[in-house]
Structure 1
C-alpha cells in the first residue's frame, strides 16, 4: 500500500546534509535533486515497512458497520473524529456513545458503530506515524533512507546493474509490518 507523500512535513536541511556527506559532495547545487531522492527513499521505506514514518493526520472511508474494522495506516497514535457519510455525501459527526474505537498494542486502529445506521460509509480521521519529526525517526530507518537517497543520487545518470545496497533493507527489516489478507 503506498502512502501519500504530498502531506509530508518538509525535509530538514540536516537530512539533506547527511546525504551530501554520505555521497561526499561539498556543494548545495544539487539540494533540490537530493530532496526529491529523499522523498522517493522515504516513500519506499514506508511501502517496505508498511508504516507511516512521520506523524500526520489521515482519513479513511470505511463501510458503515457494527463489526470491528481495521484502519488502513500504521501505527495509529490517536483517533480524532468519527463521522457517518450518507449516500448524498453529507456527513454527521457522531457522539462518543454511538461508536467504539480501539488502538491495540501493535498500533492497529479499530473502529465500529455501536448502533445500526442508515449511512453507507464512515469517515475516520486519525493521527498516524512512528515519529513526530525526522529527528525522532529510529536510526535504522533514517540511515536506510539516507543510504538509498545517496544511491539514487549517485546513480541518477545510468543504471547500476547491482541495484540498491542490501544494507538498506537490512536496516529497515526490523521495522517491517506485514499484513496477511
Structure 2
C-alpha cells in the first residue's frame, strides 16, 4: 500500500498571522514577513504530526492511493478521512497498462473516521494477478483554516508553538507530543479493529 499527496496546501491557506498572534509576536516584532517562512514551516510540521496521529486530513488536497489487493471485495476502508470525492479508480495489469474503472461500479461511503470505497454491484473492480489499483481522491475538512474543527486547529497551534519554543534544541528530552495536544487529539483517533480490514 502506498499513499501519495498529489497536491500540497498553499501557503495562503495556512494561519500564519493567527499563529504569530498565538505566539504574541506582535509587540516588538518586525512585521515585515521575515519570520513567515519559519512560522509556515512550523505549522506544516505540526499539521503533519496531527494528521499522522489522527488519520484526518486538515486542509483539502488530492491523494493517490495504490494497493495490490482489496481486503474485502465488497468494500475497502480508505487510508485517511474525511474523503470528499473519489475522482478515479485505475486498474493496472502486470505490464503497467491501465484501464479506468467504470464510476458506476463503485461509490464513496462517507464517514468522519472510516470512509470506504464500496461496490455498486457484486464486487469492487477486479485487480489482475500481479497488478494493482490506484484510487485518486480528495480529502480534507475544507480548503480554508476556518473549516478545520476547533480542537484540531488548536492542537496544531499548540504543537507548532512547542516546536517554536524548542527550535534551537537538537532533540526533545521528553520525546513525543505535549499532553495538552494529545488530549485534544484523543477523540479524533481512529480505533482500528481486525488490522483495519473491512471494519
- TM-score normalised by the chain length of structure 1: 0.81
Pairing 1:1-181 to 2, within 5 Å after superposition: 7-12=7-12, 15-25=15-25, 26-27=29-30, 28-63=33-68, 67=73, 68-97=75-104, 99-106=105-112, 107-112=114-119, 113=123, 116=126, 118=128, 120-158=131-169, 161=173, 164-180=177-193, 181=195
Query: Secondary structure in 1 aligned to 2:43?
Result: helix
CA–CA separation in structure 2 for the residues paired with 1:31 and 1:96: 43
Deviation at 1:91, TM superposition (A): 0.9
Distance of aligned partners of 1:157 and 1:96 in 2 relative to their CA distance in 1, 3 Å threshold? closer
Q: Deviations over 1:92-144 (max 9, x none)?
A: 112235x3234144451224555656462222111111223222111111111
Q: Is the 8 A contact 1:50 1:176 kept in 2?
A: yes
* Separation of aligned partners in 2, 1:70 and 1:31: 38
Unaligned runs of 5+ in 2: none
Count of matched residue positions in the alignment of Structure 1 and Structure 2: 180
Moved more, 142-151 or 163-172: 163-172
| CA RMSD across the alignment | 3.0
How does the TM-score come out when normalised to structure 2? 0.75
Unpaired runs of 5+ in structure 1?
none
Give the C-alpha shift of residue 37 in structure 1.
Answer: 0.8
